[in-house]
Amino acid sequence: MSFVNRFSDSGKTPWSNQLNRAFITRPSLTLRVLSSPPPLLRLKQGWCLLSELSRRESESQKMGLVGETIDSIKSIQIRQHLTQAISLGMIVTSALIIWKALMCVTGSESPVVVVLSGSMEPGFKRGDILFLHMSKDPIRAGEIVVFNVDGRDIPIVHRVIKVHERENTGEVDVLTKGDNNYGDDRLLYAEGQQWLHRHHIMGRAVGFLPYVGWVTIIMTEKPIIKYILIGALGLLVITSKD
């Protein structure tokens, strides 16, 4: 007699028949029990989900922080460029203001000039800087003046050797000559001109600085050096940090 027969003979139903009967009578309950994950599995899944959300939130915060940092750097760079441009503009404006102020004080359209030749040696040498002043006083023989000649762009600095006063107007015309030249300047004047008039005179020399004007001479004779100096100055202003 088998085990099943003995179990049946005892009046009890085998466990497999009981399970089948429970599945038939309460199928929804049995399915829910079988489909529900164990508590440990649910806890693990929830922990993984929380970790993933935390990681994504952290990455989002990092990306936001990086974006804010980049925007801040761009804003700082823009402010620095504006500040440097304003500084360069202030330097140029200050130089123009100083130049205009010197023109008003000295009464000369060119308060500072550079000696470009050796025609006034040994008194003034090439590269000396002359400071000019122009007043309403009549020009006298022996004074050193800077004058313009019609048809020439560069002023000339020479000494007045002769003065001619007009009888009808009282205005004074002058004749000039370089101390190191043999003859007067009539060959330098415009064709047919014998005298310089007052409107030709830019000013009288009232002071000088030796050799300081060589920088101007070098930049005039070699423009590439002038451009290099201007570029270096602009680069220095742009790259400087306040």
Residues with Cβ within 8 Å of 192's Cβ and at least 6 positions away in sequence, in order, are none
Band of pLDDT at residue 31, cut at 50, 70 and 90: very low
Q: Are 155 and 113 in contact (CB under 8 A)?
A: yes
Q: What are phi and psi of 130, to 5 degrees?
A: -110, 140
Using one digit for the tens of pLDDT, what is the confidence trace for 226-237? 788 777 777 776
Q: What is the pLDDT of residue 140?
A: 87
d(CA 170, CA 174): 13
Q: What is the pLDDT of residue 60?
A: 63
Cis, peptide link before residue 122, omega less than 30° from 0: yes
d(CA 75, CA 142): 64
Is the confidence at residue 36, as pLDDT, over 80? no
Calculate what percentage of the chain has a pLDDT beyond 90: 10
Active site residues: 119, 158, 185
Query: Out of 64-73, 94-103, 122-131, which region has the weakest mean confidence (pLDDT)?
Result: 64-73
Using one digit for the tens of pLDDT, what is the confidence trace for 130-184? 999 888 888 888 899 999 888 888 889 999 999 887 777 767 889 999 999 988 8
The domain defined by 112-211 folds into: Umud Fragment, subunit A (2.10.109)
Band of pLDDT at residue 222, cut at 50, 70 and 90: confident
Is the confidence at residue 27, as pLDDT, over 70? no
Residue type, 12: K
Is the confidence at residue 15, as pLDDT, over 90? no
Q: Are 201 and 138 in contact (CB under 8 A)?
A: no
Separation of CA 46 from chain center: 58
Q: In the chain, where are the structural domains located?
A: 3-35, 112-211
Q: Are 105 and 114 in contact (CB under 8 A)?
A: no
Q: What is the mean pLDDT of residues 85-111?
A: 82
Phi-psi region for residue 56, left (φ > 0), alpha (ψ -120 to 50) or beta? Answer: alpha
